[in-house]
A and B are shown apart, each in its own frame.
Chain A
Amino acid sequence: MIRVGVDVGGTNTDAVVMEGKKYLGGTKCPTTPDILTGVENSIRGALTEAKTNPSKVDVLIVGTTHFVNALVQRLNLANTGLIRLCLPSGSSILPFTDWPKSLIDGMGGSYRLIKGGYEMDGSEISRLDPDELINAAKELSNLGCKQIAISSVFATVRGDMEQEAFEILTKAVPNLSITLSKSIGGMGLLERENAAIINASLKPLANEVVDSFKSLQNNLKLSCPMFFTRNDGTLIEAAEVIDLPVLTFACGPTNSMRGAAFLSGLDNALVVDVGGTTTDVGEIQDGFPRLAGTSVMVADVRTNFSMPDVISIGLGGGSIVSSEDPLSIGPVSVGHELPQRAKVFNGDTLTATDLAVAAGRCKIGDKKAPSLTSLDKLIEIMDKMISDKVARARTSNKVIPVIGVGGGSVMMPSKVDGLEVICPPHNDLANAVGAAIAQVSGQVSRVVLVDDNIDRDSAIKEVTEEAKKLAVERHADPKTISVLTVSDMPLSYLPGNNLLINVTVVGDLLLETN
């Protein structure tokens, strides 16, 4: 099966063509302000290098930072209103609590608390009042919110009330677009609600992005199915991204770590991804990124996405260097203007890349590297920036390799924090490779009453079988399915043990090949 993987980063857009596990070709192009030109350039370049006709491509897989960037820059966010089904509970912590003001301003920050929600045993706190709901939605709509997020207390135990609210509003106020917190899932009302609000605010952009990628497919004569990559390194169909763009949020770091594991053949290692502006450090365990503990901050908002635990620093190939006292590197970067502005390209700005060339770590550019009296000291500062973060990303003293990936990885020393640095072939395109090799997941959450008839282990096994079935329906190859995560949580004070079991399995994509 021939796959094209694309990863849109802040500085560069990478594309690779792969046949099974074989790398056929790839390119790196600057990310363009309109995104799509960069994507088109890189896919064309990769197909040419791989000598592959577009008609031979079986699947196109895209990882993009569109959505997280929009959030970080507070751009293209739709005015969003939240309706929380909770009263009489809930008012002691209001929605949008602890959000940065600039982000609240970016999407309005309007909300209504109304009657509803569930107790932990699934009984109603109070019944949903359709009139109250419709009024709340109309008020929010009058404030300019066409996007509505709905959250309900214990929606993870019972999703019916959010669903009911969705159906009532779809009939009564048809011009609204609605995100339900249960489709994002996870315990913690505030975190789930935050994720739902963010999702809602990104939906119009998601629609545009998917549409534009579809027309791009036409331009490139790629008539194959298109998928996007999710936060956990697995695939989501384009149609699903329109409704749930937040599921693709953290795919950048995930893709680069998955790509690093694949290219190096290592399942357990630290990954240092040096880009044009920033460096991300994370860890892969059994081939997948180590996930952050409990809650994750996204653009300074607490959410409950499963995201890789990544430490970032403002150091990249384009980081601007001050060679006068006080010596400093970054965080400001020349970004994708590196080929014009770096000294080794006859430019006028001293960058981290110039330091690496001067120190003999790599050969880049057409000009000799500048000679600097403070070179040794600057290199020491640069190496320390990376090794500090590597030390923090480690969870043990165990000696494991460090995989260097990304365009800027040529700047890395041969050892970091006492660990050997491995730079596998094509490591500058690791994130596009990670997208190309993305797998299919099946996730099932189900409540099981554990009693004399079924114990915890058998219950988990049953749910696992269900998840496997789902993955197969989503085109996973049954022979390759393995369990990624299992968790179980007790639900209630009812007699017996009601367990909420969550299982995620992954397998390789199996499509009918051209």
Chain B
Amino acid sequence: MSVKKLTFVDKKSLNAIALGGAVLGSGGGGDPYVGRLMTQQSIEKSGGVKVIDIESLPDDALILPIAMMGAPTVMVEKFPSGNEFAQLIPMIEKMLTKPVSAILCAEAGGLNSTIPFVAASKLGLPIIDGDAMGRAFPELQMVTFTLGGISATPMAMVDEKGNGCTFDTISNVWTEKLARAITIQMGGSAMCSLYPVTAKECKDYLIRGSLSLIHHIGNIIEKHSFNAYEILVKELNGKHLFQGRVRDVERRTEGGWNRGIVRLEGIDEFVNRDAKIDFQNEFLVAMEGDNVLATTPDLICVFDANTGAPVTAETIKYGLAVNVLGLPCDPIWQSKEALDMIGPRYFKYDIDYKPL
């Protein structure tokens, strides 16, 4: 695979980034369309964003990961005010008594693959080519930084109404609990900056090149539409897990999660076979009968069989024909310590992770 390096993001490259971000979203992380429009509006007003390598920064440079926290469903109805980042970043700079050198995308999947560009554009900062997940995950502690013992705090969070809040906690799991509770009070979505790191810390745990990668994936989908999945399987060492029509989507929202099960009836070479995908914001486990097809942390990605567009757990509908792909996660997620944090058992599935 040869991925063209992304060095600058303007309006033209946004569509591919949003599309590729939706793929790494693994069904979660929200509608990338909303993120694209926010970034577009921000770039029109404040200019494009420079994408840089982590190596180009001195070791002590302060890097600020940015993310949206909350329910993706909220964001398709309630858009941010647009003033969040101008409020958020000074809050963090004040706590750390140091200016920010670059923005980092915490999660290169879903809506959060584009939101950091809004922050970077508004504040005229560069963005690092990489992220801390290599996909989307549902909880705040599920980043590579946690494996390195790096704290999520000091963390700052603001809502569209202008409420702001900072956190100082004893562990990243506690940050998740407290921040989630406040997100709910803020109306289901909030903008946050967390895991402030130095360039040196970042070098050890960064999943490199994720922004170039999502741009590349997006270009493949734009070019090959409904055939794109075949190329993605080849280029990303993935597996074509299933092709089928959605026969039922059962959903429930529990304690802030969009949980449910998608049931598929096979078509084409998968005819007379059934599969199901469990989701908790992201697609987490794909099964055919008792046979496990793929589990978190590997990526389970669903594509509209007609258009080739990635389909999210939020928007998947009865009757849609889809292709299901398994893509390998970054190797950093395959250690026992990592699997305790993001493996199937953490999400209460009684199965073990088996790499694709």
Cα distance A324–B208 in the bound complex, in angstroms: 54
A136 within 8 A of B: no
Stretch at the interface among B213-221, B314-322, B347-355: B314-322
**How far does the Cβ of A409 sit from chain B's closest Cβ, in whole Å?**
23
Chain B residue nearest in CB terms to A398: B267
Chain B contacts of A395 at CB under 8 A? 245, 267, 305-306, 321
Given A93-B34, A293-B309: A486 in contact with B318 (beta carbons within 8 A): yes
Interface residues of B in 182-205 (CB under 8 A from A): 184, 187-188
Chain B contacts of A93 at CB under 8 A? 34, 37-38, 41, 79
Chain B contacts of A492 at CB under 8 A? 253
Interface residues of A in 459-514 (CB under 8 A from B): 485-493, 497-499
Interface residues of A in 72-105 (CB under 8 A from B): 86-94, 97-98
Given A92-B38, A392-B306, A395-B321: A188 in contact with B252 (beta carbons within 8 A): no
**How far does the Cβ of B237 sit from chain A's closest Cβ, in whole Å?**
26
Q: Residues 118-132 of chain A: 1 if any B CB is under 8 Å from the residue's CB, otherwise 0?
A: 011000010000000
Chain A contacts of B319 at CB under 8 A? 285, 290-291
Q: Can you list 19 A-B pairs, Cβ within 8 angstroms, ordered by A?
A: A88-B161, A91-B83, A92-B82, A93-B79, A97-B41, A120-B73, A120-B187, A125-B78, A125-B187, A189-B79, A190-B34, A293-B307, A398-B267, A487-B249, A487-B318, A492-B253, A493-B71, A497-B254, A498-B253
**How far does the Cβ of A459 sit from chain B's closest Cβ, in whole Å?**
12
Cα distance A397–B311 in the bound complex, in angstroms: 21
List 9 tightest A-B contacts by C-beta distance, closest first. Answer: A92-B82, A490-B253, A395-B321, A396-B267, A89-B160, A119-B187, A92-B80, A93-B79, A397-B268
**How far does the Cβ of B331 sit from chain A's closest Cβ, in whole Å?**
34
Chain B contacts of A446 at CB under 8 A? none
B309–A117 touching, CB < 8 Å: no
Chain A residue nearest in CB terms to B248: A486
Given A94-B41, A119-B187: A490 in contact with B80 (beta carbons within 8 A): no
A497–B82 touching, CB < 8 Å: no
B251 within 8 A of A: yes
B256 within 8 A of A: yes
Cα distance A487–B118 in the bound complex, in angstroms: 34
Cα distance A188–B33 in the bound complex, in angstroms: 11
Q: Which of A97, A489, A490 has most B Cβ within 10 Å? A: A490
A294 within 8 A of B: yes
Chain A residue nearest in CB terms to B227: A392
B78–A117 touching, CB < 8 Å: yes
Q: Which of A156, A393, A395 has most B Cβ within 10 Å? A: A395
**How far does the Cβ of A188 sit from chain B's closest Cβ, in whole Å?**
5
B82–A91 touching, CB < 8 Å: yes
**How far does the Cβ of A506 sit from chain B's closest Cβ, in whole Å?**
15
Given A120-B74, A153-B78: A92 in contact with B118 (beta carbons within 8 A): yes
Chain B residue nearest in CB terms to A187: B76
A153–B321 touching, CB < 8 Å: no
Chain B contacts of A120 at CB under 8 A? 71, 73-74, 77-78, 187-188
**How far does the Cβ of A337 sit from chain B's closest Cβ, in whole Å?**
35
B148 within 8 A of A: no
B226 within 8 A of A: yes
Chain B contacts of A397 at CB under 8 A? 267-269
Residue in B77, B81, B82, B187 whose CB lies within 8 Å of A188:
B77
Chain B contacts of A396 at CB under 8 A? 243, 267-268, 271, 321
B280 within 8 A of A: no
Chain A contacts of B255 at CB under 8 A? 493
Given A88-B161, A93-B37, A293-B317: A154 in contact with B77 (beta carbons within 8 A): yes
Chain A residue nearest in CB terms to B245: A395
Q: Residues 31-49 of chain B: 1 if any A CB is under 8 Å from the residue's CB, otherwise 0?
A: 1011001101110000000
Cα distance A263–B69 in the bound complex, in angstroms: 53
Chain B residue nearest in CB terms to A294: B315
**How far does the Cβ of A352 sit from chain B's closest Cβ, in whole Å?**
26
Interface residues of B in 304-356 (CB under 8 A from A): 304-307, 309, 311, 315, 317-321
A456 within 8 A of B: yes
B250 within 8 A of A: yes
B317–A493 touching, CB < 8 Å: no
Chain A contacts of B82 at CB under 8 A? 91-92
Chain A residue nearest in CB terms to B82: A92
Residue in A87, A97, A189 whose CB lies within 8 Å of B77:
A189
Given A92-B81, A93-B41: A188 in contact with B76 (beta carbons within 8 A): yes
B318–A89 touching, CB < 8 Å: no
Chain B residue nearest in CB terms to A192: B77
Interface residues of B in 240-269 (CB under 8 A from A): 243, 245, 249-256, 258, 267-269
Chain A contacts of B320 at CB under 8 A? 293
Chain B contacts of A285 at CB under 8 A? 319
Chain A contacts of B58 at CB under 8 A? none
A493–B188 touching, CB < 8 Å: yes
A493–B41 touching, CB < 8 Å: no
**How far does the Cβ of A21 sit from chain B's closest Cβ, in whole Å?**
27
B253–A491 touching, CB < 8 Å: yes
Chain B residue nearest in CB terms to A98: B37
Interface residues of A in 284-304 (CB under 8 A from B): 285, 290-291, 293-295, 302
B304–A293 touching, CB < 8 Å: yes
**How far does the Cβ of A296 sit from chain B's closest Cβ, in whole Å?**
12
B99 within 8 A of A: no
A309 within 8 A of B: yes
Residue in A91, A98, A154, A190 whose CB lies within 8 Å of B81:
A91
Chain B residue nearest in CB terms to A286: B319
Chain A residue nearest in CB terms to B38: A92
Cα distance A309–B118 in the bound complex, in angstroms: 33
Cα distance A37–B138 in the bound complex, in angstroms: 60
A456–B250 touching, CB < 8 Å: yes
Chain A contacts of B38 at CB under 8 A? 92-93
Interface residues of B in 59-116 (CB under 8 A from A): 71, 73-74, 76-83
**How far does the Cβ of A501 sit from chain B's closest Cβ, in whole Å?**
11
**How far does the Cβ of A270 sit from chain B's closest Cβ, in whole Å?**
12
Chain A contacts of B76 at CB under 8 A? 187-190
Chain B contacts of A86 at CB under 8 A? 78-79
Chain A residue nearest in CB terms to B85: A92
Chain A contacts of B161 at CB under 8 A? 88-89, 125
Chain B contacts of A87 at CB under 8 A? 81
A90–B305 touching, CB < 8 Å: no
Chain A contacts of B245 at CB under 8 A? 395
